[in-house]
Amino acid sequence: MTWEVVIGLETHAQLSTASKIFSGAATAFGAAPNTPASAVDIALPGVLPVLNKGAVERAIRFGLAVGATINTLSVFARKNYFYPDLPKGYQISQFEIPVVNGGEIAIVSPTRGEIRVRLTRAHLEEDAGKSLHEDYHGMTGIDLNRAGTPLLEIVSEPDMRSSDEAVAYAKSLHELVRWIEICDGNMQEGSFRCDANVSIRRPGEPLGTRCEIKTLNSFRFLQQAIDFEVRRQIAVIEDGGTIVQETRLYDPDRNQTRSMRSKEDAQDYRYFPDPDLPPLAIDRGWIERVRRDMPELAPMRRLRFSATSREHLVELVKGGAGVDLSEMSDQVYEESNPALQASGQRPTHGLTLADASALVQDRATADYFESTVAGGADAKAAANWVLGEVAAALNRAGIGIAAAPVSPAALAGLLARIADGTISGKIAKEIFDAMWASGARGARDADAIIDAKGLRQISDEGAIERLVDEVIAGNAGIVAEFRAGREKAFNSLVGKVMAASRGKANPGQVNAILRRKLG
């Protein structure tokens, strides 16, 4: 009989506030060790924590994005334990009443299709410091810069059944927190990290004993750690042993997990309400203000990009609802669907679902595409260039699209010259490279380069006809091959005409005139 894998993830997302959750100390990464750790962060006698409003608003934003319940009253508690990098001996967190309850993340499983991973909760807490072992011989260094950084801990239900599903969930969550701008998602700096709870059972049996793998800060390590842990647990049980509930660490050099400590339960932390912090009250007006400022989310944007009209968008949204809405009028449906209302006044673009999905992998890319279209470019052409030439140039430069030296307005100007026949697609790539090198920001930058380099396409029929006549006269052998039925010979003649024009002849006209001349 096979084993069934059961996985739940606890994800820590560092929130993108400028200051810490209970103090005014800076959260910026990279400061000298122990410099932005304030008296409040390490709980020196006489200090009092004050809650960061921005951290709360980011938690609300997350809850709205995943369809969760925002608790209008939540409580901060002291979670008592001692580590060297937690000098006050407790962590301020939320336990019984978190700020966010429920919600879900949709993923695509390679074996089960589209599934929805339920969320148990998301709660606010402070980060601990960091123990540094690598740079000290026989000693451990303690860096408290991170202490007090605001975290949103997002806890899933044990709904995942493979490491592939866990990685798909983690990637979807990572994309979401970056999309709604509550976390920068920098896994190398520890801004987004996962703890994986892994157990196995025979299908249909109760849940097995879980082990928690701590602090996985890459998707590859997450997958490798889960796969190893599953193999380890199967081997232990099949050899007659039992799984001990414990916390384990993943060693990527050896590709194995090892025991760190026995796994604590809630009672071991001796939670009690923090006496220095009153309950967090969130009124409905606050929630609605955050909702109004929410960006259009990636799933809705993907549907809008692929819709051909407002009516088509309604059909696409209904098609993904999973219920029969055939009896519901469009008006009633729209009024009951806040996401559709929010997207109502934005344009549709009629892209393929594949192109739309690729564009919304990153919010900055989606914004760049829409700004290019707003500059007058055809949507399909803009998508092709953003996903093609622009993406390739970004990869070569090792930068994100927000830092692209070619602005959306400048790209739209270039695409306009392809559309009106001023330049060919091949010449456009040469012009784009020049725009990239010079930093094109305006809609007329492409025109300046075209004129400076003399690259305007030849569309004068008489001029092209003279070039065609010259090529036919000078290549009798290739002409004979074409007339004997070899189509490749025609392409060779087209190439020679284009070469004679230094690539500036209108390719469509060259093809038409050449075929007419060859009868």
Q: What is the CA radius of gyration of the chain?
A: 30
Note the pLDDT tens digit of each residue in 443-452: 899 999 998 8
- For 472-502, give one letter per residue: b (16+ CB within 10 A) or e: beebeebbebbeeeeeebbeebbebbbebbe
What are the angstrom distances between the C-alpha of 180 and each of 117, 128, 147, 209, 511?
A: 19, 25, 24, 35, 49
Mean pLDDT of 417-442: 92
What pLDDT score was predicted for residue 263? 62
What pLDDT score was predicted for residue 325? 42
Neighbours of 119 (CB within 10 A): 25
More confident position, 321 or 74:
74
Note the pLDDT tens digit of each residue in 384-394: 999 999 999 99
Note the pLDDT tens digit of each residue in 256-274: 999 987 766 656 789 999 9
| Closest to 62 measured CA to CA, from 114, 15, 127 | 15
What pLDDT score was predicted for residue 346? 86
CA 475 to CA 172: how far, in whole Å? Answer: 58
What pLDDT score was predicted for residue 514? 87
pLDDT over 50 (residue 324) = no
Q: What is the pairing mode between strands 211-216 and 246-251? A: parallel
Range list of H helices, 375-460: 379-385, 391-397, 408-419, 425-438, 445-453
What pLDDT score was predicted for residue 281? 97
Mean pLDDT of 269-282: 94
pLDDT over 80 (residue 21) = yes
User: Residue 183 corresponds to which amino acid?
Assistant: C
CA 70 to CA 122: how far, in whole Å? Answer: 10
CA 14 to chain centre: 16
State the sign of the Cα–Cα–Cα–Cα dihedral 386, 391, 394, 398: positive
pLDDT over 90 (residue 453) = no
Beta strands in 158-290 (DSSP E): 192-201, 211-216, 246-251, 256-262, 272-273, 280-281
What are the structural domains of the chain? Answer: 4-281 (no CATH), 295-453 (no CATH), 461-518 (1.10.10.410)
What pLDDT score was predicted for residue 338? 66
The 3-state DSSP composition of the chain as helix, strand, coil percent (nearest 5) reads 40, 20, 40
Beta-bridge partners for 273:
77
Binning pLDDT at 50, 70 and 90, where does residue 330 land?
low
Note the pLDDT tens digit of each residue in 241-256: 999 999 999 999 999 9
Lowest-pLDDT choice from 140-144, 316-320, 324-328, 362-366: 324-328
Inter-residue contact 16 to 182 (CB < 8 Å): yes
Binning pLDDT at 50, 70 and 90, where does residue 432 land?
very high
CA 39 to CA 103: how far, in whole Å? Answer: 36
What pLDDT score was predicted for residue 132? 84
| Closest to 97 measured CA to CA, from 129, 116, 70, 137 | 70
Binning pLDDT at 50, 70 and 90, where does residue 334 land?
low
Note the pLDDT tens digit of each residue in 370-428: 999 999 999 999 999 999 999 999 999 999 999 999 999 999 999 999 998 888 888 89
Backbone φ/ψ region at 10: left (φ over 0), alpha (ψ -120 to 50), beta: beta
Lowest-pLDDT choice from 48-62, 256-270, 326-340: 326-340
CA 214 to CA 250: how far, in whole Å? Answer: 7
Question: What 3-state DSSP class applies to 191?
Answer: coil
Mean pLDDT of 347-367: 95
Mean pLDDT of 160-166: 98
pLDDT over 50 (residue 323) = no
pLDDT over 80 (residue 322) = no
What pLDDT score was predicted for residue 239? 95
What pLDDT score was predicted for residue 317? 79
User: Residue 280 corresponds to which amino acid?
Assistant: L
Question: What 3-state DSSP class applies to 449?
Answer: helix
- Round the average pLDDT of the chain to a whole number and report it: 90
What pLDDT score was predicted for residue 388? 97
| Closest to 277 measured CA to CA, from 80, 132, 125 | 125
Question: Which positions ≥6 away from 157 have C-beta within 8 Å?
Answer: 8, 117, 118, 119, 120
Residues making up the chain, counted from first to last = 519
Mean pLDDT of 81-105: 91
Mean pLDDT of 63-68: 95
CA 453 to CA 68: how far, in whole Å? Answer: 57
CA 356 to CA 313: how far, in whole Å? Answer: 13
What pLDDT score was predicted for residue 321? 45
Burial of 336: CB neighbours in 10 Å, binned 0-12, 13-18, 19+: exposed
CA 309 to CA 320: how far, in whole Å? Answer: 17
Binning pLDDT at 50, 70 and 90, where does residue 99 land?
very high
Note the pLDDT tens digit of each residue in 483-495: 888 888 888 888 8
| Closest to 129 measured CA to CA, from 115, 116, 114, 147 | 147
What pLDDT score was predicted for residue 160? 98
What pLDDT score was predicted for residue 238? 94
